[in-house]
Structure 1
Amino acid sequence: MKKSIWMILILVMIFPLSGTSAMESVMWISNQKMTLKVDGMPLKIILREFSRAGIKIKLDPEVNPYITADFKNKEIQKAFETLAKGYSHALVWGKTADGVSELSEVIIFKPGKINRAVSLKSSENLKIEKNPETGAIYVKNKILIQFKKTVSGNRIKAVLSKLRASLRLINKDLAIYEITLPENGDMQKALAALKKEDNIASLEPDYAYRTSSTFRYDYGETADTISTESLAAKHSVPVAILDTGLMPQYLSDSLNQASFDALSADNIIISDAVGHGTQMALIASGQVHPMGSDSATFSNPVISIRAFDDNGYTSNAVLIKSIDFAIKNGARVLSLSWGSETDSRFLESAMNYAKARGLIVVAAAGNNPTGTPMYPAAYESVISVSALAPDGKAWEKSNYGDFVDIAAPGFAHLPVGYNGDPGTYAGTSISTAYIAGKLAAYLREHPEATGIDLFPE
């Protein structure tokens, strides 16, 4: 893959650091030149965005100055002299298959301490384990828990001490906490021990879920997209997309009202390593219309939330954090183009929490026609969506059952691939994002509407 032309990363709104104001930030490397506009941004965040483009980054753990810079098309060597001012740095160059020079590695360190530099990962992936008996997957050493209101702080401390575990609050309104066991902790023994405590209302492993696949079909066409220049101005009902993120070229204020990386506190600027989240954002925003959809067009801003890691996993704790961000940033519709057979009381609580705060939640019924309920789609607080083929008939791979509320077009010509090339894709993911977009458009005209009973036929 060529890397001589890397990426354009635009962040419309950065949460201000201490002593700084929010501003538009731009990071752009093209043809061995760098354009950079940042105000008080930690160096690690800037370098992490470069690592997302496939550039290997090594950084001394003690080096992370706040960077303020504003320059255009500066030669890369001089640009890194600016970024690494006061420190030493080394640039390692390679060549593409076409023989073009490309930057392959950046090392920044304290003078004479190059051996201290360690690899900087683009983001942390969840550590996933599987229950051999049930097949359910969960995050290693993570347990979600709700204490009874009458429990004392001393008793909580005693429970944690027994497990040699730590505790952090996930959601105050839901009173959900996360317990982290030690690295060599035994999940099943810890759960068994906690179940004996009479001061615990409920507990589960931090169940994990995989993003749904979209299936590629050989229709030989790509998508026609519409301009996004005036989306934000004309429409005010955003759809929150909890998925794999959003590709940098779509991070504009006309399409993306807000964005959040729920998997990393450092990653202010999100990206999308697999493309699924970007596909869903294009459909929910109205830039791409599924095949067989009605002639009525719509356009909505989206709130892009990277809730799935680069391996395609999320968890209840991550989802709850994502929902909080969606609520705080004005979302009215929550689009969940994924599902699992795992029925979790914490996942259901999260869906009920979203609905209670004014969100209409839409989720995929699944791409395996078994009739088995998929979650969160099967919860009462969620609109479940199955998929139609371009001829308007039920898609052969779409799930079905009493838990399904509505069917919608599930094929689309997309300019972005899912772990592959652009083309025609299919799945209940697409039909879910489409219904989410239609609901947002309807809410713009009928702001008091709630639920599928008010969705226009």
Structure 2
Amino acid sequence: MRNRLIFGIFTLGLGIILFATMRPFFLDKGEQRNNLNSITRTENTGRPLQVQNVQHRNGKIQRINMIKTNHQLVHRLNNSPSIKVINHNKKDKSHYYENEIVVNFKTIPPQEKIDQYLKDIDGSLREKHETVYIFKSNSKTANELEKYFIRNQTVEYAEPHYIFVPNDVNDTYYQSYQWNLPAIGTEQGWNLTRGSKKIKIAVVDTGVDLDHPDLARRLTTGYNAIDDNNNPDDNNGHGSHVAGIIAADTNNGVGMAGITWYNPIIPVKVMGADGTGGSFYVSKGIRWAVDHGADVINLSLGNYQSCDVLESAIDYAQEKNVVVISAAGNDNTSQRSYPAAYPGVLGVAAVDWDGKRAEFSNFGDYVDVAAPGVEIPSTFSNGEYAALSGTSMAAPHVTALAGLIRSINPKLKNTDVVKIITSSARPVNQNRQSPYYGNGIINNAAALQMAATKNK
């Protein structure tokens, strides 16, 4: 597959990667590395619960200037002759490939029809999956291609090949160790359930580091939608970070503590090394995850332009009783972001360690809940650890909670899970419905208590 074909879904929370000033994370040359900062809790049984987190034996957290990288990418898109820009307002933009079109046929067309289409558009067929095709023309614009295909009665829809760009986040240095866990009542929730091996969580992203010491035991068979194989290894880092928040091996004396202890992670790679992916591949990845047993799907990606191919995959997941969670976006704007704004999807905003709205977090009526999303430490690619900020980091907190809810009460429908998460959230400033926090900040303990007693 070619990255330039990719419908650039960019990670909404792909922000600057931070290095730690606290010694257990970033030790000066010659310092001794010690296993520090274990958290001790006591269960209802009285048995001590040791959560030894943030104990990376190699003792170093990466520092990568993702803001510079993102600025360079946006500049390239804005100035490329093959890219068209959509100005939603003075601030928020979307992009699409000038000479490409995504077409969904009502039924798979015969080869002679495809040959005729290619002749008419002076182009080529770049990719297909079931009834969805990507065509590229040597001479026609996206608008001309859309007009050509949409008049065909065998076409369900035709739309430009939209590009999703990253949302930049300005961060300070890392200041605390996994403050995010107690902020949402994680440990209290563990007294009710730590998860179940029967409830699977799909991370549809850049893939996952398959050999990471804090993730490898939690992974099940995955899928690479770009290369159409079973090797969803992460060559970017974003997907590994998202997966670690949900399921980094807990209480193993290494690295981070994930929110779930037992739920398998299905790694699905739909974005490449540069963090971009196409609607075709994202849709394909979502459908694959659903068909291979995902109970919950995390989508830490999005853009301001809705597209039919992605929405149809979201609808498919919801029809199959899957809970879908998505990040709200990081541009401090009320412009609706997709897939978070699609009906039934839990849209997640970000808060900091004081429970205040992260300054970058998007807002609006599509925000359902909020979760920690500032300076969140987690696993990264190549066996490393990193701290990132963004709603991409907030979303997997909610995804993990959904997995725990389905673990404690597997009979719940996806709509029941969504209702429990929103109704148990802790309101901010006594405001039950807010454009900045939705129904409030998630509360694991309250949600799991509610789930445990529902319909029993």
Under a length normalisation based on structure 2, what TM-score does the superposition of the two structures give?
Answer: 0.60
- Greater strand content: 1
Report the counterpart of residue 225 of structure 2 in structure 1. Answer: 262
- Cα distance change on mapping 1:282 and 1:359 into 2, 3 Å: same
Match of 1:99 in 2: none
Against the structure 1 CA distance between its residues 144 and 132, is the aligned structure 2 distance closer, same or farther, given a 3 Å change threshold? same
Taking the aligned partners of 1:142 and 1:167, their CA distance within structure 2 comes to: 10
Residue matched to 2:419: 453
Task: Report percent identity of matched pairs.
Answer: 25
Deviation digits for residues 254-304 of structure 1, max 9, x if unmatched?
A: 2111222221136x4333233111110001225589xxxxx9953222111
Query: CA 1:160–1:288 in 2, change beyond 3 Å: closer, same or farther?
Result: farther
- Please tell me whether residue 386 in structure 1 is matched to residue 349 in structure 2: yes
CA distance in 2, matches of 1:129, 1:334: 33
SS at match of 1:136: strand
Query: In structure 2, how many angstroms separate the alpha carbons of the residues matched to 1:214 and 1:272?
Result: 22
Residue number in structure 2 paired with 1:400 = 363
Secondary structure of residue in 2 paired with 1:131? strand
Residue 322 of structure 2 aligns with which residue? 359
Separation in structure 2 between the aligned mates of residue 309 and residue 274 of structure 1, nearest angstrom: 7
Is it true that 1:194 corresponds to 2:149 in the alignment? yes
For residue 136 of structure 2, what is the aligned residue in structure 1?
Answer: 181
**1:307 Cα deviation from its structure 2 partner:** 1.0
Counting matched residue pairs gives 317
Residues 390 and 409, structure 1, Cα contact 8 Å, conserved in 2: yes
| Superimposed CA distance per residue, residues 106-154 of structure 1 (whole angstroms, 9 cap, x where no aligned partner) | xxxxxxxxxxxxxxxxxxxxx9953235553345754222334698876
What's the counterpart of residue 207 of structure 1?
162
Aligned with residue 402 of structure 2, among 439, 453, 456:
439
Residues 206-253 of structure 1 deviation map (CA, whole Å, 9 limit, x = unaligned): 32324556664313456699xxxxx99952212111111212432865
- Aligned residue in 2 for 1:132: 85
Q: 1:331 to 1:440 in 2, by over 3 A?
A: same
Residue pairs, 1:15-414, within 5 angstroms: 129-134=82-87, 135-138=93-96, 141-148=99-106, 157-166=115-124, 170-172=128-130, 176-182=131-137, 186-210=141-165, 216-221=171-176, 234-250=196-212, 254-265=217-228, 268-285=230-247, 287=249, 298-299=260-261, 300-414=263-377
Structure possessing the higher relative contact order (Cα contacts under 8 Å, 6 or more residues apart): 2
Distance 1:347 1:198 in 2: 21
- How far apart are residue 311 of structure 1 and its match? 1.5
Q: State the secondary structure of the residue aligned to 1:444.
A: helix
Q: Is the 8 A contact 2:358 2:374 kept in 1?
A: no
User: Kindly tell me: are residues 418 and 265 of structure 1, through their superposed partners in 2, closer, same or farther at Cα, counting changes over 3 Å?
Assistant: closer
Kept after mapping to 2: 8 A contact 1:142/1:179: yes
Unaligned runs of 5+ in 2: 1-79, 88-92, 182-192, 252-256, 425-446, 448-456
Unaligned runs of at least 5 residues, structure 1: 1-126, 226-230, 290-294
> 2: distance between equivalents of 1:263 and 1:140?
21
Give 2:355's aligned amino acid: G
SS at structure 1 position matched to 2:85: coil
Structure label with greater radius of gyration? 1
